[in-house]
Chains A and B, each alone.
Chain A
Amino acid sequence: MAKTKTNTEDYLRMYRQMVRIRTFEDNANQLYLSAKMPGLTHMYSGEEAVAVGICEALTDDDRITSTHRGHGHCVAKGAEFKEMFCELLGKEEGYCRGKGGSMHIADQSHGNLGANAIVGGSMGIATGSALRAKLQGNDDVTVCFFGDGATAQGLMYEVMNMAALWKLPVIYACENNGYSEYTKTDEIAAGSITARAEAFGIEAHQIDGQDVLAVNALTRKLVDRARKGEGPFFIELMTYRYHGHHVGDINREYYRSKDEERDWKDNRDPIVRFRAYLVEEGIASEDEIEAMNAEIETDAREAVAYAEAARYPDVSEVDMHVYAD
């Protein structure tokens, strides 16, 4: 199969972004385990193809809203390691000057309207961003990331109804990782998730969330159509989180088996799959990929070291930013 130059660059960037997410999360997990990170965090590892496949179909003008499991979206939308690790450690140079932390990272310069610690809490924000685009005649599209657990929130149905009534340029991206915190999705979701969107007349797709190219191809088509006023759309992306609900959720056997975890890691890992594809198609050699991985690992390690040494915000900042001028 002949590859154009552009595709090659796109593919390598998608691979790089997925590895950056995995590497970021591995380092964040280490920070937690070594008690260097205040609080806790929710790992995105295993779901990289979702964030990257979607965000690679967007421009900086396009917006996203993210979730408590939001590092992947943040990296995929263009954020830098340094500012992200600084935020995770509550440092002044973090994206939110240390005031948000892992669950509230926002990176407005790349259109990331922020992670949200209320499950389903950002669905109104995403849909409102799309309403603004329509009212002001802008052609940007907003993607609302949320998990299968958030489909149990009433807000989702209220905003999907309005998005459909008003044909808003919003794409609802449901990352179905099979678990609503510590409970199987089957136990909390009746019927079909995509059918819920279809009930509002919203075109809905279910897709393999471990296949970055498939996710990207579908998203590109839907983004183009949303820009032309054909939205909203709904995508259910079947995926898996390798870690627990949060970093402290270590013993998980009461809700899912180690065999199941091993199966997803060994047979459906989005990075391993895409790496094999790149080599097979002659887009990159094993050596080139190893070099890229090593470079990302170094970047992450340097960013962690930088963040560890960085300053905390001055205490005088505690009551800054309560109100805007």
Chain B
Amino acid sequence: MREITLSQAVNEAIAEEMRRDPTVFLMGEDVAEAGTPFKVLSGLVEEFGTDRVLDTPISEPGFVGLAVGAAMTGARPIVDLMFGDFIYLVMDQLCNQAAKQHYMSGGKLTVPMVLRTNMGATRRSAAQHSQSLQALVAHIPGLKVAMPSSAYEAKGLMKTAIRDNNPVVIFEDKLMYQDKAPVPEEEFLIPLGEAHVKRAGDDITLIATSSMVQVAEKAAEMLASDGISAEVIDPRTIVPLDEATLLASVKKTSRAIVIDEGHQSYGVTAEIASRLNERAFYHLDAPVLRMGAMDVPVPFSPALEDITVPTPEGVAGNARKLCAGEMIDAA
């Protein structure tokens, strides 16, 4: 199968859906000729024109608000939010407006829009361009949240998100745009709410999102050489969450570590760990462990930044302790 980058996968998904459905359009800062600073959207304005690929002013609440209104009246906008850190700027439009219209109207209004943005530290971009803020929006009923872990997921989830009748927020790890993966040429969709077992194992379950899937897979390799068999699961969407697949795995292995690049406190890892504790407690041989980013603003210095995020060595180390029945020191 051919291999393409995550960036190409996103681009293909959007182009295919724009060809398929004339109500789909794209808007955001520097999305047209510039194709975004990451060049993810290059070429789209040449094919679809400036009517369907709209460069906006640097007005995040404004253009997200426009997308909500366009979605409520018959269009399917894809909004590009250049950095995930800017999500704080659009919280009212996303969480008070987009997320609640369907419910507040008793099901009459719908907001079929996609907000694609990014996450991920270790790019030396410091505290306001490095955050992984998926937990903030996953907390809000009415929003769906996807976190692709490779080019394959990026394409399949994006296409499904565009066709979904709800606001869907997609977090792409900005360090993965050039990572290649096998992606079929023929059309495919990935349902929202369907986890993927990336690697089967018996002793411990590593539940990881986005680029943390790579971290978990590397950790699983290290553990294999120690004779520990780790199962790696990518939930692919954190809302909706495929609880059944996670529970089945944890009931089988009896141990779990949940890894996500958002801050550890009150985060995605806490939510998933809590659900496993509530629903699989009597199958567990060890506490479910959370591994998120440190609870500090992301520092600039490489010497500091690199130690704020989970690493394969850190995951493998904790997994060995859990499998040996040792307690882990609190983070």
Interface residues of A (CB under 8 A from B): 63, 65, 94-100, 104, 106, 108, 113-114, 116, 118, 121-133, 135-136, 142, 154-155, 158-159, 161-162, 165-166, 320-325
> Known: A98-B106, A100-B105. Contact between A324 and B165, CB under 8 A?
yes
Name the segment of B54-62, B126-134, B290-298 touching the other chain.
B54-62
- Among B33-41, B69-77, B116-124, the one that faces the other chain is B69-77
Closest A residue by C-beta to B112: A324
A276–B101 Cα distance when bound, in Å, is 42
Cβ distance B246 to chain A, nearest Cβ, rounded Å: 20
Question: Which bucket holds chain B's interface residue count?
Answer: 35 or more
B66 CB–A CB distance under 8 Å = yes
Residues 91-143 of B at the A interface (beta carbon under 8 Å): 92-93, 96-97, 101-110, 112, 141-142
Residue among B66, B75, B165, B166 facing the most chain A CB atoms (10 A cut-off):
B66
Shortest CB-to-CB span from A86 to chain B, Å, is 11
Which residue of the partner chain, among A63, A135, A166, A324, contacts B25 with CB atoms under 8 Å? Answer: A135
Complexed CA–CA distance, A126 and B73 (Å): 10
List the A side residues contacting B178 at CB < 8 Å: none
Q: A residues within 8 A CB of B186? A: none
Contact B103 A132 (CB under 8 A): no
Task: Count A-B pairs with CB separation below 8 Å.
Answer: 147
The docked-state distance in angstroms from the alpha carbon of A322 to that of B70 is: 20
- With A104-B104, A324-B166 already in contact, the answer to whether A132 and B74 are too (CB < 8 A) is yes
Tell me how far the C-beta of B289 lies from the nearest C-beta in chain A, rounded to whole angstroms. Answer: 31
User: Which of B23, B65, B102 gathers most chain A CB within 10 Å?
Assistant: B65
Least CB distance, A94 to chain B, in whole angstroms: 7
* In the complex with contacts A124-B65, A159-B66, A129-B102 CB distance below 8 A: no
CB of B170, distance to nearest CB on chain A (Å): 16
B101, closest chain A residue (CB):
A114
B104's partner among A106, A132, A162, A165 (CB-CB below 8 A) is A106
B218 at the interface (CB under 8 A from A): no
Give 8 closest A-B pairs by Cβ, nearest first.
A124-B65, A128-B69, A158-B62, A97-B106, A125-B69, A158-B59, A128-B66, A96-B106
B96 cross-chain contacts in A, Cβ below 8 A: 118, 121
Residues of B within 8 A of A320 (CB): 107
Contacting pair B66 A124 (CB below 8 A): yes
Nearest CB in chain A: distance from B124 CB, A: 31
Enumerate 30 A-B pairs (CB-CB under 8 Å) in ascending A order: A96-B106, A97-B107, A99-B103, A104-B105, A114-B101, A114-B109, A118-B97, A121-B92, A124-B61, A125-B68, A125-B72, A125-B97, A126-B69, A127-B62, A127-B65, A127-B69, A128-B72, A128-B77, A129-B70, A132-B70, A133-B73, A155-B61, A158-B62, A159-B66, A162-B62, A322-B103, A322-B142, A323-B142, A324-B110, A324-B165
**Most chain B beta carbons < 10 A, residue from A97, A142, A162:** A162
A118 vs B74: C-alpha distance when bound (angstroms) = 23
Chain A residue with minimal CB distance to B61?
A155
Partner of B65, one of A104, A132, A142, A159: A159
Closest to A319 in B: B141
Which residue in chain B gives the minimum CB-CB distance to A155?
Answer: B61
Residues of B within 8 A of A162 (CB): 56-57, 59, 62-63, 66
Q: How long is the Cα–Cα vector from A165 to B63 in the complex, in angstroms?
A: 13
A113 and B141 in contact, given A154-B61, A323-B102, A324-B107 (Cβ under 8 angstroms): no
A213 to chain B, nearest CB (A): 30
Residues on B lying within 8 angstroms of A by beta carbon are: 23, 25, 51-52, 54, 56-57, 59, 61-75, 77, 92-93, 96-97, 101-110, 112, 141-142, 144, 165-166
Report if A129-B165 is in contact (Cβ < 8 Å); known contacts: A113-B109, A321-B107, A324-B107. Answer: no
In the complex, the answer to whether A63 meets B106 with C-beta atoms within 8 Å is no
> CA separation between A325 and B107, bound complex, in Å?
10
Q: Are B52 and A135 in contact (CB under 8 A)?
A: yes
Q: A77 vs B25: C-alpha distance in the bound complex, in angstroms?
A: 29
Give Cα distance in the complex from A131 to B71, angstroms: 10
**Shortest Cβ distance from residue A152 to the other chain B in the assembled complex, whole angstroms:** 14
B104 touches A99 (CB 8 A): yes
Which residues of B lie under 8 Å from residue A94 when comparing CB positions? Answer: 106
Q: How far is the CB of B26 from chain A (nearest CB, A)?
A: 11
Q: A121-B96, A322-B141 are in contact. Are A96 and B57 (CB under 8 A)?
A: no
For A103, the closest partner residue in chain B by CB is B104
On chain B, the residues within 8 Å of A132 by CB distance are: 69-70, 73-75
Q: CA of A97 to CA of B107 in the docked complex: distance in angstroms?
A: 9
Please measure, in the bound complex, the distance between the C-alpha atom of A139 and the C-alpha atom of B102, giving whole angstroms: 25
Least distance between B108 CB and chain A CB atoms (Å): 5
With A and B bound together, what is the CA distance between A322 and B166 in angstroms? 9
B144 touches A323 (CB 8 A): yes
The complex places the Cα of A154 from the Cα of B92 at a distance, in Å, of 12
Q: Could you tell me the distance between the alpha carbons of A123 and B59 in the complex, rounded to whole angstroms?
A: 13
Q: Which of A98, A99, A131 contacts B69 (CB 8 A)?
A: A131
